[in-house]
Amino acid sequence: MRTILRQPGLRYIFLANIISMLGSGMNSTAITWFVLQRTHNEIALGKLVVLSTLPGLLMLPFTGVIIDREDRRHLVMLLDAARAIVVLAVAILALHGQAQIWQLYLMNMFVAAGFWMFWPTITALIQELTPEQEFVHANTFLLAGVQGGWLIAGSIVGFVYDKIGLSGVLFIDFATYLLSFSCYLFVRRGKHVVKPHDSGTPKPDGLVSRYFHELREGLDYVRGKPYIMLLGAAWALFLGAMLTQGVITAPLSERILHSGAIGYGWLNAGWGIGAFLSALYAPQVIRRAGSRHSVGSSMALLAVCLFALPFSRWLAIAVLIYAVMGSARGVGGISISSTMMEVVPKHFMGRVQNTFFFAGTLLQMLVGYAVGVVAHKIALAIGFYTIGVMYALAALFAMWPVAPPEKHSEPEPVATEGSFPLEMGAAPARGESVPANPEHDSERA
């Protein structure tokens, strides 16, 4: 881990994610609790999930190609700036007592759209900056930053929401976006784009034709790799289930545990603590058990916990179960992301991730609303069981006996805007960039 922290770019990325997730976690928790308190209806939470999913379904088919074409740092900065503006607008409305449910739904849609493009982009950026042998540790740091911020946020909101209100939470979220944007300014300089290897296949002229050509390339790559297909299916189920949990966590605190906002804060804290602490032992677990067994065991443990939660009548027991779930989420998530980084070439990473993020988004939209309906009209326990089945299927796909592909070992050059053609000389080593102008660099030095 010290090796990872010696790289300034990765240090700033991890710091930015801690700050960003602090605000995003507070935003998500506050919005969920606000909607539940206004409506007292789990179906409203299901609608919140569905509406936050629709932008992802529209964007993901296009954004994978963009992520593989453009500078990933610039994309992340653009996403942070756009979400900050949207959150600020709603924060001002909430401050004046004019925030309506439909406005929160709309804000959630825009923020979710940024989320669905942000995570494939930041994962691809980390893959680009990290030495191949350090992928597990880089993902561990990313998870620690994300869950560290989420832990603080989820815990804080339950205790301060009544004092600062929705507007206070949203202003904090806006400030964290500004700080995160500032951190990305220092990750590196200039424009850097991953240059794919020449496959010998002629590319069509025209933006639209070239887009569909590159999109088909990504889909053909996934179809030709059964191991990646199965692991990606587990990833999609994992994402869909994890994001749908927001529909049932707040009702668990209100209807079963009778703990209100404070209990909701403790449940989020339990999840965050488990996920954050998993960063201490996830690399050792993955190294000893292997990526396949790490993912499968983690998903199976999550399934067991979801089936047990409706029977947790005391807050302490529920918080303990959420801590176990957070730990399993940490190990499983790190293992999936690291394995994808190892076996998927850099210039395919955006498209491959978006393929499975699209599937996860579709699952979240369909299952999220269905869970809200059955939890409100039939029984809250059925909502827990539904999500538990999704985790169980993820475990099955992850453990399916298929030989993994060989890890990609050929260095993939990162071109800097204005650089000399890479074919004129030897390709730079992994992570290196070609200087845009040697004379200019000498003058700057």
Q: In which band, very low, low, confident or very high, does the pLDDT at 84 lie, cut at 50, 70 and 90?
A: very high
Task: Give the pLDDT confidence score for residue 163 in this predicted structure.
Answer: 77
Residues 89-134: tens digit of each pLDDT: 999 998 888 888 888 888 888 888 888 788 888 888 887 887 767 7
As a whole number of Å, the CA-based R_g of the chain is: 22
Q: What are 128's two structure tokens?
A: 């680009």
Q: Report which of residues 4 and 439 the model is more confident about.
A: 4
Spatial CA neighbour of 160 closest among 268, 273, 262 = 262
Residue 433 carries which DSSP code?
B
The answer to whether 336 and 295 are in contact (CB under 8 A) is yes
Residue 97 carries which DSSP code?
T
Task: Give the pLDDT confidence score for residue 408 in this predicted structure.
Answer: 53
Q: What are 147's two structure tokens?
A: 């869950």
Provide the CB-side half-sphere exposure for 303 (13 A, CA): 18
Task: Give the pLDDT confidence score for residue 440 in this predicted structure.
Answer: 39
**What are the residues facing 416 on neighbouring strands?**
192
CA–CA gap between residue 308 and residue 253 (Å, rounded): 15
DSSP letter string, 212-281: HHHHHHHHHHHHT-HHHHHHHHHHHHHHHHHHHTHHHHHHIIIIIS--HHHHHHHHHHHHHHHHHHHHHH
Task: Give the pLDDT confidence score for residue 303 in this predicted structure.
Answer: 92
How much is the average pLDDT of 215-226?
Answer: 77
Average of per-residue pLDDT values in the chain? 77
Residues 367-410: tens digit of each pLDDT: 877 887 887 788 888 888 988 899 999 999 988 887 766 655 44
CA–CA gap between residue 309 and residue 437 (Å, rounded): 60
Percent helix, strand, coil in the chain (nearest 5)?
80, 0, 20
Q: Report which of residues 270 and 424 the model is more confident about.
A: 270
Residues 306-336: tens digit of each pLDDT: 999 888 888 889 889 999 998 888 888 888 8
Q: What are 372's two structure tokens?
A: 């809200």
DSSP letter string, 111-161: HHHHHHHHHHHHHHHHHHHS-GGGHHHHHHHHHHHHHHHHHHHHHHHHHHH
Is residue 88 over pLDDT 90? yes
Is residue 215 over pLDDT 90? no
Choice among 138-142, 220-224, 403-407 with the minimum mean pLDDT: 403-407
How much is the average pLDDT of 68-76?
Answer: 86
List C-alpha distances in Å: 363 to 25, 248, 349, 369: 22, 16, 21, 10
CA–CA gap between residue 152 and residue 17 (Å, rounded): 13
> Cβ-count burial of 199 within 10 angstroms (0-12 exposed, 13-18 middle, 19+ buried)?
exposed
Tell me the CATH number for domain 8-185+209-399. 1.20.1250.20
DSSP letter string, 156-219: HHHHHHHHHHHHHHHHHHHHHHHHHHHHHHTT-SS-EEE-----SPPPPSSHHHHHHHHHHHHH
How much is the average pLDDT of 280-288?
Answer: 84
Q: In which band, very low, low, confident or very high, does the pLDDT at 439 lie, cut at 50, 70 and 90?
A: very low
End-to-end CA distance of the chain: 31
Choose the most confident range, by mean pLDDT, from 31-40, 96-105, 145-154: 96-105
